[in-house]
């Protein structure tokens, strides 16, 4: 532990773990709000779709380079984005529910 590089590594490992925890937790309030209100009107389509694309790209990178701290962070972002995407597009008040899921099929995905 006398090695300064070793101490630096431990500090950054701790920071990465704290960041991953925050990255998981910061999604929860929006997900709860969306679940309770079933309303995603204030969430931009472009934001949501770019967030999903960005998550997939970072996940690919983290898998290829075996960066598991990045993987944990971006998998939580992807899962929360997919949750919001569902409510934005297919949920009870979804913007494109009729287009993406005809009336006869809506009974199967009713929440």
pLDDT score of 5 more than 70? yes
Q: Would you state the pLDDT for residue 110?
A: 57
Length of the chain: 111
pLDDT score of 1 more than 90? no
Within the chain, strands assigned E span none
Contact 17, 68 (CB under 8 A): no
Looking at domain 4-109, does it have CATH number 1.20.1280?
Answer: yes
pLDDT average, residue stretch 1-14: 82
pLDDT average, residue stretch 2-12: 83
Q: How far apart (Å, rounded) are the C-alpha atoms in residues 82 and 37?
A: 17
**Residue 93 vs residue 14, higher pLDDT:** 14
Q: Would you state the pLDDT for residue 108?
A: 56
Output b/e per residue, 7-45; b: 16+ Cβ within 10 A. eeeeeeeeebeeebeebbeebeeeeeebeeeeebeebee
> pLDDT for 63-84, tens place per residue?
999 999 899 999 999 999 999 9
For the chain, give every domain's residue range: 4-109
**What's the whole-model pTM score?**
0.77
Average pLDDT, the chain: 86
Band of pLDDT at residue 2, cut at 50, 70 and 90: low
Q: How far apart (Å, rounded) are the C-alpha atoms in residues 110 and 43?
A: 21
pLDDT score of 97 more than 90? no
């Amino acid at each position: 532990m006398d090695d300064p590089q070793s101490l630096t590594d431990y500090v950054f490992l701790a920071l990465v773990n704290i960041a991953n925890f925050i990255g998981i937790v910061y999604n929860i309030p929006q997900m709860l709000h969306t679940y309770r209100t079933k309303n995603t009107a204030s969430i931009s389509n472009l934001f949501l779709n770019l967030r999903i694309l960005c998550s997939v790209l970072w996940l690919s990178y983290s898998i290829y380079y075996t960066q598991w701290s990045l993987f944990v962070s971006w998998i939580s972002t992807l899962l929360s984005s997919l949750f919001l995407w569902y409510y934005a597009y297919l949920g009870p008040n979804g913007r494109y529910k009729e287009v993406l899921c005809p009336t006869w099929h809506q009974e199967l995905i009713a929440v």
